[in-house]
Chains A and B, each alone.
Chain A
Amino acid sequence: MIVAENLVKDFRVHERGPGLLGSLGTLFSREHRLVRAVSGVSFEIPAGTKVAYIGANGAGKSTTVKMLTGIMTPTSGRALVAGLEPYRERRRNAANIGVVFGQRSQLWWDLPVPDSFRILRGIHDIPDAVYRRNMALYRDLLDLDALGNTPVRQLSLGQRMRAEVAASLVHDPKVVFLDEPTVGLDLVLKEAVRELVNRVNAELGTTVLLTSHDMGDIRAICDGVLVVDRGEVVHSGSVHELLRTADTRAVLFEHEGDPAAPTEAIALIEARLDGASATVVDGGRIRVEYPTGRWTSRQVMGLLLEHFDVTDCVAPEPDLESVLRRIYTGGRRPAPRPEAVG
């Protein structure tokens, strides 16, 4: 459904020094350099899947999404969304996609939300039945009626985001691009937005591309993950596969023994398991963290069972955030030198 082939995007950046003197400087010079925001990204997202596109700030993900939505033309390479090159056939592509761009509104700023939807219905030629079904769904899940007749510009971020998400889906698009769709929402509404997206995906087979800093969104919605770093895809696979790349795992356990004196137990574990660390967490449980390259979980569990009278034991999944943090900070190649021009 979404194909990116060697997508490249370069920007010209005008040099500007800091402070007043810096901006005075721009009066007289127009030096600039080229910055590569996206460097040869390739991937393919099959129809009906829900993929998270994640990366640190400045990883080039919003630029990539802009190229996929047709807002931006790539410097080189090619993108295909539902069989169209978005930037070439923007208007036809627009009929196939829905977009939420986080903080930026796509609604009619001066109009109340119901009017925006009435207009969207017109410009997308939405059949009556579809429009009615969708509006009923949004009323149900997002409580859109509560927004009333307030113009969009006077809504709070949370109120507006509900309308934005609904507006991106109202014409039953084949693909929906969601950039920070739950920003500003409380937990209940976050849940509602996630449920809405999942439901639309299940019922209509809508392909979802999500960019978010909210790990909760990613885990609740997505089945696949693309990790971008410095404009290149560094990981592609399921969420599960991504988690498996974690270089440390942890086990928490409780045992029959003196809970007041865990020092002995900790010393024993750290002595037997080279590179592992043990700490006491609340409730008196001991948390053992070990490098996955050095020890298998079988070895660790064996050791624990051998030396302790284990009464309870959990092995939590690795934390997505720390996995990502390691990818961003650990896997860094030296930065390509920006090419100086003019």
Chain B
Amino acid sequence: MTRAGTVPARLRRYAPFTAASLQGLLQYRATFLINALTAATAVGVQVFLWRAVYAGRSGGMPGGYDLPHLTTYVLLAQVLGLMQANRVDEEVSGEVQRGDIAVSLLRPVSYPLARFAAGLPVSLTNATLVAVPVVVLYALLLPLSVPSPQGALLFGCSAALSLVIGFGVNLLVGLAGFVTTNIWGVRIVKDSVVAFFAGQVVPLALMPGPLAAVAQALPFQGMVDGPLRLLLGRYHGPLEAASILGVQLAWAAALSALAALAWRGAVRRVEVLGG
């Protein structure tokens, strides 16, 4: 890796993957509209559900969330979900199944990094073209809680880390294509289990004790619950905020290492079995 010149020069090699991915995306302009619709309906279900809960309850706030807080959580949880939907799992498993993955070995770039470069524009396009309109729509319809500047700043850092975690998870799911032909099944598991433990459906604070403890111990909480706790100021003192970010950072590193390891295993397999 160190042989090949300066860091910016090396990074520039990944730009074509980003450009190609963006180009591919723009061909399906309908996708964005549909993604927006999907996210908006998902938020809709949750918001309606929780509004009914708040209407039917007898006092006290679930997990310390009042309705505007919870609505904000539910809304932004979908936004983070959109940003982590970077298609990497689909593309990688597709390449594995078609056997195209062998071709990737011929390129003078790191495959995981190339995938990251290709996934980034998907995330960012989803964030700008899809998430912004959805957030604006709900901001007009429902009372939301406005985050502090400090919260927003911490959220920004945390969201960036959540992208890395989400990428690692997706890459691992994609590489599962080497182990099973039913990638669809793996993705169903991922979509439901990861989203659940990430806190994309219900904040971790609302889960019963043992379940919340399990969720805290898994990397997925860094994808949604962590960033949103920082945004909504649901921590005590700077130390806890730092620890949320620290845990995310550790998981991001661990998952990257795991993905690299899995990739190395995949390469060995391709070399032996030819894909």
Contacts and interface: CB of A to CB of B under 8 A. Distances in A.
Question: Would A and B touch once assembled, by the CB under 8 A criterion?
Answer: yes
B23 A20 contact: yes
Interface in A136-187: 153
A23 B23 CA distance: 6
A157 to B, nearest CB: 11
A26 B27 contact: yes
A27 B29 contact: yes
A24 B23 CA distance: 8
Interface in B20-71: 22-23, 26-27, 29
Interface in A1-53: 19-20, 23-24, 26-27
A308 B29 CA distance: 75
A20 B19 contact: yes
Task: Specify the main secondary structure of chain A where it touches its partner.
Answer: helix
Nearest to A153: B97
B172 to A, nearest CB: 23
- The number of chain A residues touching the other chain, given as a range, is under 10
B166 to A, nearest CB: 25
A139 B255 CA distance: 50
A22 B29 CA distance: 14
Contact of B22 (A20, A26, A27, A153): A20
A16 to B, nearest CB: 9
Contacts of A19: 23
A111 B158 CA distance: 46
Nearest to A20: B23
Contacts of A27: 26, 29
A153 B94 CA distance: 12
A20 B97 CA distance: 28
A20 B26 CA distance: 9
Of B26, B27, B29, most buried by chain A (CB within 10 Å of CB) is B26
B179 to A, nearest CB: 15
Nearest to B27: A23
Contacts of B22: 20
Contacts of B26: 20, 23-24, 26-27
A153 B181 CA distance: 10
Contacts of A23: 23, 26-27
Of A23, A24, A26, most buried by chain B (CB within 10 Å of CB) is A23
A32 to B, nearest CB: 16
B23 to A, nearest CB: 5
A196 to B, nearest CB: 28
Nearest to B26: A23
Contacts of A20: 19, 22-23, 26
A24 B29 CA distance: 10
Nearest to A110: B181
Contacts of B23: 19-20, 23
A170 B227 CA distance: 61
A20 B29 CA distance: 14
Nearest to B29: A27
B182 to A, nearest CB: 10
A20 B16 CA distance: 11
B28 to A, nearest CB: 10
Contacts of A24: 26
A181 B247 CA distance: 58
A23 B25 CA distance: 10
B60 to A, nearest CB: 50
Given A20-B22, A23-B23, A153-B97, 11 more contacts: A19-B23, A20-B19, A20-B23, A20-B26, A23-B26, A23-B27, A24-B26, A26-B26, A26-B27, A27-B26, A27-B29
Interface of B: 19, 22-23, 26-27, 29, 97
10 contacts: A20-B19, A20-B22, A20-B23, A20-B26, A23-B23, A23-B26, A23-B27, A24-B26, A26-B27, A27-B26
| 10 tightest A-B CB contacts, nearest first | A23-B26, A23-B23, A20-B23, A27-B29, A20-B19, A23-B27, A24-B26, A27-B26, A20-B22, A26-B27
